[in-house]
Amino acid sequence: MFVADGLTEPQPILSMPGVVQHTRDSLRKAAAEAVDLGVGGLMLYGVPRTEDKDASGSVGIAEDGILNVALRDLFADLGDATVLMADTCLDEFTDHGHCGVLDDQGRVDNDATNARYVELAVAQANSGAHVVAPSGMMDGQVGAIRDGLDDAGRTDVAILAYAAKFASAFYGPFREAVSSSLVGDRRTYQQDPRNAREAIHEIELDIDEGADIVMVKPAMSYLDVVRAAADISPVPVAAYQISGEYSMICAAAANGWIDLQASAVESLIGIRRAGADIVLTYWAADAASWLA
């Protein structure tokens, strides 16, 4: 779910039919409805005002930043009735749109970024997140966050590591959803779509660093990686059915080429069949109703 600062009404995301940028109030209503339907957890993304973005993504750490405020709202409403998960990344909050802090040559600084991720994770944990989800694909991010959470006394907070996140062509609608400022791409720190072996190595590294869940993103074009991860992982494996995967099924159904519900359910079954224990999908509330 996406929650945006400064909105008075939910804002439809044009490239993702049925998905919106929520206000704080509409998020609370939609979250309660999802939990009532039986959705197992909520992944939250914050969308700040453009003028609040800066080079280091400080609004993501700020106590009054939209993501941390929304986490407190949902924790107050729902408590432990669901699993509150927070995207632990800087891309929504930076004025350059990259997932990390940039050096003086405009390159993502891995170690400086990890230090910011620790601050993000602690802020999110203190705001009510049960799970933090580092998605920037920095080397060592899981270990740094685990140490930071432990030092802050938040040993109870789990880490869902985006362990194999590929530089995919299917992210376009998501960038509209988070009002991304990105110019260029993230190929220097996301995985090459052709390289499954490195992806498995990254998954193993995150497990060694203390990840409680490892995730493959995207899901549908990388079912072989999901299967390989499931074969080796001692912790649950998640797969993210991303915005482009969701939107292309919606578009085909809108043209009358396929049946929306049948195709969506089939796609989710395929991800589970490949070995995913957990599926992140924009159809979560719908699927809970369809499968009831």
Spot the catalytic one: 98, 130, 165, 186. Answer: 165
Spot the catalytic one: 199, 217, 218, 222. Answer: 217
The answer to whether 165 is a known catalytic residue is yes
Whole-number Å distance between alpha carbons of 160 and 134: 7
Tokens (6 digits) for 56: 């280091």
Residue 71, phi then psi, degrees to nearest 5: -60, -40
What HEC string does the chain produce? CEEECCCCCCEECCCCCCCEEECHHHHHHHHHHHHHHCCCEEEEEEECCHHHCECCCHHHCCCCCHHHHHHHHHHHHHCCCCEEEEEECCCCCECCCCCCCECCCCCECHHHHHHHHHHHHHHHHHHCCCEEEECCCCCCHHHHHHHHHHHCCCCCCEEEEEEEEECCCCCHHHHHHCCCCCCCCCCCCCECCCCHHHHHHHHHHHHHHCCCEEEEECCHHHHHHHHHHHHHCCCCEEEECCHHHHHHHHHHHHCCCCCHHHHHHHHHHHHHHHCCCEEECCCHHHHHHHCC
Whole-number Å distance between alpha carbons of 251 and 249: 5
Contact 56, 101 (CB under 8 A): yes
The answer to whether 217 is a known catalytic residue is yes
Whole-number Å distance between alpha carbons of 167 and 202: 14
Whole-number Å distance between alpha carbons of 162 and 87: 10
List residues with catalytic annotation: 165, 217
